[in-house]
Amino acid sequence: MTERLLLASIHDVGPKFEREVDVLAARLERLLGGPRFAMLVVPDHWGEAPLSASPAYARRLRDWADAGVEMFVHGWCHRDAAPAGFAARHMTAGEGEFAALDRAEALKRMTRARAVVEDATGRPAAGFIAPAWLYSDGTRAALADAGFALAEDHFRVWNPDNGAALTRGPVITWASRSRWRRLSSRFVAGAARTALGGQRVIRVAVHPGDTREPSILNSIDATIGRFARSHRPGRYAELAGHGNDLATSLATPPSLATPRSQ
């Protein structure tokens, strides 16, 4: 793959943030010209919203997956009950679930989460992305055991089987938990619109909390709008060389309304 790609994703997808995900999905469809993005699914966010107990939402995920949205496993519950290290405690509000797990526990949670996500979507998961992009050594080792095709952290996408980097470069994302985080993330996104223009693969990630801040939504619009003019909205699977058939079928996708519960 030599052309420039824009990879967009919605994090923390699940019944807990149903309304917020609807808003983000509709926005990305408009900006990208269709369902050309990924969803990162949490099977039981904070232990409060089990996907397995929400068949209506599972049907919605299947509708999105059928339309071409890539579905990633995004941890099990997203929350780290005992945050380890500065990043987990202060940068993610204790949501770095896989930041300190040993190999056996990480594999157990990955396997359990994958089963729930694949049962809901009716197709193999596209890969695994740890909450807050934080991985312990045990988690990285467990990825190869779990057999995921792709994994992502803040600075690269790689093949867990052999460790090969498929693309490098920072994810453009936003933070909404405090005023200074909102200001700094908007500043960084603005700088990235200029600094990263020559990068072959651009990754942009949005979160449910972004929907509560009009200034962040405006920044998302400006950032994705800028890169959509120079990079083709694509799929993570293309990085591994096995997504081109579906990418071609999505070149002129039908209009997709946000799926609704049956």
Nearest to 95 by CA among 12, 165, 25: 12
CA distance 240 to 262: 35
Residues 131-153: pLDDT tens digits?
Answer: 999 999 999 999 999 999 999 99
* 85 φψ region: left (φ > 0), alpha (ψ -120 to 50), beta (else): left
CA distance 223 to 230: 11
pTM of the model: 0.88
* Residue for token pair 């694949």: 118
CA distance 87 to 91: 5
CA distance 150 to 130: 11
CA distance 174 to 44: 23
Superfamily of domain 5-248: Glycoside hydrolase/deacetylase (3.20.20.370)
Q: Write out the chain's pLDDT in tens, 262 residues.
A: 468 999 999 999 999 999 999 999 999 999 999 999 999 999 999 999 999 999 999 999 999 999 999 999 999 999 876 655 544 444 555 678 999 999 999 999 999 999 999 999 999 999 999 999 999 999 999 999 999 999 999 999 999 999 999 999 999 999 977 788 889 999 999 999 999 999 999 999 999 999 999 999 999 999 999 999 999 999 999 998 865 443 333 333 333 333 333 2
Helix orientation angle between 137-146 and 103-121, rounded to the nearest 10 degrees: 50
